[in-house]
């Protein structure tokens, strides 16, 4: 979605010889609206413990496909209840 807009911006910058506007590969000279369908959460929050995951507590995918944090998985298995809290699959 954003590529045609970025290509047009690049052409305009080159035509106007505006050096220094776009200096780094990881930055954009303008904000591009991608619409609501491209919105996403950049962090995952465990639906069971309601905590953000981290490197020490990463998200874990269960056999059924649901995702929870490692701390939540440890609590489920320590309680002897290795059943998904959403679909109740073991």
Cα radius of gyration (the chain): 22
Q: Can you read off the two tokens belonging to residue 72?
A: 């939540």
Q: Can you read off the two tokens belonging to residue 14?
A: 């080159």
Q: What is residue 22's predicted lDDT score, i.e. its pLDDT?
A: 62
What percentage of the chain carries pLDDT values higher than 70? 82
pLDDT tops 80 at residue 70? yes
pLDDT tops 80 at residue 21? no
Extents of the domains making up the chain: 55-90
Closest C-alpha among 72, 33, 36 to residue 51: 72
Q: What is residue 7's predicted lDDT score, i.e. its pLDDT?
A: 82
pLDDT higher for 22 or 13? 13
**pTM: predicted TM-score of the whole model, two decimal places:** 0.50
Most confident stretch, 3-12, 40-49, 65-74? 65-74
Beta carbons of 68 and 60 less than 8 angstroms apart: yes
pLDDT higher for 3 or 42? 3
Phi, psi of 14 (to 5 degrees): -65, -40
Q: Can you read off the two tokens belonging to residue 48?
A: 């069971």
Q: What is residue 82's predicted lDDT score, i.e. its pLDDT?
A: 73
Average pLDDT, the chain: 79
């Amino acid at each position: 979605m954003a590529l045609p807009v970025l290509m047009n911006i690049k052409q305009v910058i080159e035509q106007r010889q505006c050096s220094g506007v776009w200096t780094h590969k990881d930055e954009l000279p303008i904000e591009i609206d991608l619409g609501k369908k491209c919105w996403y959460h950049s962090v995952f929050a465990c639906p069971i413990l309601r905590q953000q995951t981290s490197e020490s507590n990463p998200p874990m995918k269960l056999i059924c496909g649901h995702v929870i944090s490692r701390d939540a998985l440890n609590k489920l298995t320590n309680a002897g209840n290795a059943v998904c809290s959403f679909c109740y699959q073991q």
